[in-house]
């Protein structure tokens, strides 16, 4: 069903500080619906003083929150997850307005995955304990402590999921957070702040500031901030990591990639084609872990390209609020221009356009290039749009060495019916996440993050706990103190 042409998603105010909606005092920030270009909200950025206000509120609220029993903190997160599930439809529509992603995606992927994170960490928190090291009389025990104030900075492709993935482990471990969503998609994080308060979170524990890169930079270097978790591009990650280092702050960096997907001759053709589609065209290709270098063994290559072109031609592009739409617009005009430039480069470099192309307006259709070689720009650079490069190979050894010849290492996939080969290749691929006979599934139970330039640290799973807490050792002397003089 299609939506009415007019949409407004104006929030109560631009910022959320110390439990209240607060007007931003900085430059204007218009929020556009990527499908129509219509202004759906008029916000204002936070000033440097307002960033400081938010971190001060977080620092003031953190000690009491951190002193609560983990099971009590978990209860608040669990209630928030319940509210998200109750308001699923309203939140999915807001996410679609903010991002332009089809409602059939935002109903199942975005907020639902955020609610999973809240539930998962709510349950996990009370199980986090220290250790005891016996020393034959004396002993040492460890305490896992919160870090203090965490800064979260998000990308625009999964704004609400990113906010939840960062807030859930941070808050449940007793930290407070100041979150800055992407300037392109600022609305979901404000909703999360309201929902957390409604669920019983004390004011100041989760705050939201808005703004472009400069606001993020001010947040990262605020003296009250102990940890920075960024989801964004490698270039931004390098800047933020360096700025955080000055204050010896902890970091988690979830950055970009150019991930490989290797398809062997013995793979199930339909499954491999389906995975290549999911790995390149879901969310109109705006996914960090996308397998944009698809290495296909020569024996299966012609059939693979035929099926890929046939299935890609069936895609339903259009109004994201229409339940039938499978492929939405690109986030903004600048990103559309970058993707079209990449497509032009591919053609100029001699890659063969199998299907798709530059598209029209805000839309770029699923685009597949064949005959791509490793040295081509489209095979080396993250495009962050629906552009797949298909490369051919003969041997496993060759595929592996070419797949790993990249400075990135976020994700990778392998399709084969040979069990040993599947595990051997998954082990040899240089990536934080690898999939065998599937792609792009990121359940909350599994660690997610990159190696090489794609990042540091892990989100999700029990592993995330380590990135939102620190260990204290307590040595307990049980005898007399034996001093030399």
Binding site for ligand NAD (CB under 6 A): 153-157, 180, 182-183, 212-213, 216-217, 220, 231-233, 236, 239-240, 254-256, 288, 382, 384, 410, 450, 455
Which CB sits closer to ligand NAD, 85 or 212? 212
Active site residues: 254
If the CB atoms of residues 100 and 422 are measured against ligand NAD, the closer one turns out to be 100
Q: Is 284 left (phi over 0), alpha (psi -120 to 50) or beta?
A: left
Cβ of residue 257: shortest distance to ligand NAD, in angstroms? 6
The CB-of-165 to ligand NAD minimum distance in angstroms stands at: 8
Nearest to 208 by CA among 248, 263, 144, 152: 152
| Closer residue to ligand NAD in complex, CB, 31/83 | 31
Distance of CA 111 to the CA centre of its chain: 13
- Minimum gap (Å) between residue 315 Cβ and ligand NAD: 22
**Mind spelling out the 3-state secondary structure of 411-469?**
EEEEECCCHHHHHHHHHHCCCCEEEECCCCCCCCCCCECCCHHHEECCECCCHHHHCCE
Q: Which is nearer to ligand NAD, 338 or 421 (CB)?
A: 338
Cβ proximity to ligand NAD: between 212 and 311 the closer is: 212
Extract the tokens encoding 298: 């020569």
Q: How far apart are CA 366 and CA 387, in angstroms?
A: 7
The residue with its CB nearest to ligand NAD is 216
Closest C-alpha to 10, from 31, 36, 24: 31
| Residue 64 vs residues 69, 204, 323: alpha-carbon distances, Å | 10, 11, 45
Residue 362: CB minimum distance to ligand NAD, A: 16
Give buried/exposed letters for 268-299 (b at 16+ CB in 10 A, else e): ebeebbbbbbbbbbbbbbbbbbbbbbbbbbee
The least CB distance from residue 455 to ligand NAD, in Å, is 6
């Amino acid at each position: 069903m299609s939506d009415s042409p007019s949409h407004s998603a104006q929030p109560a105010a631009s910022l959320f500080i110390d439990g209240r909606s607060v007007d931003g005092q900085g430059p204007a920030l218009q929020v556009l619906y990527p499908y129509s270009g219509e202004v759906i909200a008029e916000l204002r950025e936070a000033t440097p003083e307002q960033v400081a206000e938010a971190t001060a509120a977080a620092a003031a609220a953190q000690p009491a929150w951190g002193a609560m029993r983990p099971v009590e903190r978990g209860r608040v997160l669990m209630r928030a997850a319940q509210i998200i599930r109750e308001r699923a439809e309203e939140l999915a529509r807001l996410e679609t307005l903010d991002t332009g992603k089809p409602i059939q995606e935002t109903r199942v992927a975005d907020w639902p995955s955020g609610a999973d994170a809240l539930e998962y960490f709510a349950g996990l928190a009370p199980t986090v304990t220290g250790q005891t090291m016996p020393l034959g009389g004396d002993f040492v025990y460890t305490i896992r402590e919160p870090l203090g104030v965490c800064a979260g900075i998000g990308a625009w492709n999964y704004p609400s999921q990113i906010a939840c993935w960062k807030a859930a482990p941070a808050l449940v471990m007793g930290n407070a957070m100041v979150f800055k969503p992407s300037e392109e998609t600022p609305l979901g994080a404000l909703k999360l702040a309201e929902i957390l308060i409604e669920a019983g979170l004390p004011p100041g524990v989760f705050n939201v500031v808005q703004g472009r890169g400069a606001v993020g930079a001010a947040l990262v270097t605020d003296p009250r901030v102990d940890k920075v978790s960024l989801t964004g591009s490698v270039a931004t990650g390098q800047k933020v990591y360096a700025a955080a280092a000055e204050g010896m702050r902890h970091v988690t960096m979830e950055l970009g990639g150019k991930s490989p997907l290797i398809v062997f001759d013995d793979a199930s053709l339909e499954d491999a084609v389906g995975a290549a589609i999911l790995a390149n065209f879901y969310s109109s290709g705006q996914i960090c872990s996308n397998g944009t270098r698809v290495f296909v063994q020569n024996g299966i290559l012609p059939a693979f390209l035929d099926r890929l072109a046939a299935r890609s031609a069936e895609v339903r592009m259009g109004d994201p609020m229409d339940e039938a739409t499978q492929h939405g617009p690109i986030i903004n005009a600048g990103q559309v221009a970058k993707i079209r430039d990449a497509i032009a480069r591919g053609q100029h470099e001699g890659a063969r356009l199998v299907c798709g192309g530059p598209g029209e307006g805000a839309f770029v259709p699923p685009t597949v290039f064949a005959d791509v070689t490793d040295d081509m720009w489209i095979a080396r650079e993250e495009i962050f749009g629906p552009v797949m490069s298909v490369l051919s190979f003969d041997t496993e050894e060759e595929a592996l060495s070419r797949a790993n010849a990249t400075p990135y290492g976020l994700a990778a996939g392998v399709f084969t019916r040979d069990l040993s080969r599947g595990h051997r290749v998954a082990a040899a691929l240089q990536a934080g996440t690898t999939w065998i006979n599937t792609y792009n599934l990121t359940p909350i139970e599994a660690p997610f993050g990159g190696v090489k330039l794609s990042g540091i640290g892990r989100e999700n799973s029990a592993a995330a706990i380590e990135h939102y807490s620190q260990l204290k050792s307590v040595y307990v002397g049980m005898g007399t103190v034996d001093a030399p003089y």
